Amino acid sequence: MCRIAAYLGEPVALSHFLLDPPHSLEIQSWAPQELVYAKLNADGFGFAWYDRQDTPSVYVNPAPIWSDPNLPHLARTLESSLWIASVRSATSNNPVNHANTQPFVDSEFLFDHNGFIDKFHGVVQQNIMDQLSPEVLATIRGNTDSEYLFAALRQLLVDNSDLPVETALAELMENIADWSDGHRCLLNLVISDGERLYAVRHALGDDSPSLYYTTDDEMFPGAQLIASERLTDSSFWQSVPEHKILILDPEEPPELLSL
Mean local confidence (pLDDT), 60-68? 98
**pLDDT tens, 100-130?**
999 999 999 999 999 999 999 988 999 999 9
Active-site residue set? 2
Element (H, E) at 252: strand 252-258
Structural domain count, the chain: 1
State the pLDDT at residue 112.
99
**pLDDT tens, 130-164?**
999 999 999 999 999 999 999 999 999 999 999 99
Mean local confidence (pLDDT), 41-62? 97
State the pLDDT at residue 37.
84
Query: By residue range, what is the domain housing residue 161?
Result: 2-258
**Among residues 20, 55, 58, which one has the least CA distance to residue 232?**
20
pLDDT > 90 fraction of the chain, expressed in percent and rounded = 95
Mean local confidence (pLDDT), 169-174? 98
CA distance 237 to 215: 8
Q: What is the CATH number of the domain that holds 185?
A: 3.60.20.10
State the pLDDT at residue 162.
95
Q: What average pLDDT does the structure give for the chain?
A: 97
State the pLDDT at residue 92.
79
State the pLDDT at residue 1.
77
Element (H, E) at 147: helix 145-159
pLDDT(38) > 90: no
Report yes or no: 88 and 45 within 8 Å, Cβ to Cβ: yes
State the pLDDT at residue 51.
95
**Among residues 8, 1, 7, which one has the least CA distance to residue 28?**
1
Higher pLDDT, 202 or 91: 202
CA distance 174 to 58: 29
pLDDT > 70 fraction of the chain, expressed in percent and rounded = 100
